[in-house]
Amino acid sequence: MFCPKCGTLSFPSPSGDISCTNYKCGYVGPAKLVIKGADGEDVDLSNVKSETKSQKREYEVIKDSDKMQGILTKNTYMCPKCDCIEVYAYLEQTRSSDEPETRMLTCKDCGNGWREY
């Protein structure tokens, strides 16, 4: 809806009143919407209401930290937290392309994660 005083786009409240968003105008009151119809007569739109119904959506939360990523290695790395020697490892490019990749490690037993540069 538009402010009847200055023409600024305004949004009606549930009661049908509008408050102009233009700070210079400051109009607060009913929306006086009268337009010319196709036959030239005035059409009053002040009683027109619109509503938006929200749709119910179902979301599935996926937590990446719960799944073990990478290849299981034995006797290559040791977990700094529990001293386990079975560790999942994979490489990831975390910096620019001219820098070496980062080795991401996750302990099989305790789930502790760390990285080696």
Q: Which of 14-23, 78-87, 101-110 has the lowest mean pLDDT?
A: 14-23
What mean pLDDT is predicted for residues 4-23? Answer: 81
CATH for 64-116 (3.40.50.2300, 2.20.25.10, 3.40.50.970, 3.40.718.10): 2.20.25.10
CB–CB of 28/19 below 8 Å? yes
| Residue 26: pLDDT over 60 | yes
Count of all residues that appear for the chain in the document: 117
Residues 6+ positions from 41 with CB-CB distance below 8 Å: none
Other C-beta atoms lying within 10 Å of the C-beta of residue 94: 12
Share above pLDDT 90 across residues of the chain, in percent, rounded to a whole number: 0
Instruction: State the Rg of the chain over Cα.
Output: 31
User: pLDDT digit string (tens) for 56-99?
Assistant: 877 776 655 556 578 888 888 888 888 888 888 888 888 888 88
Q: What residue segments make up the domains of the chain, in order of their start?
A: 1-48, 64-116
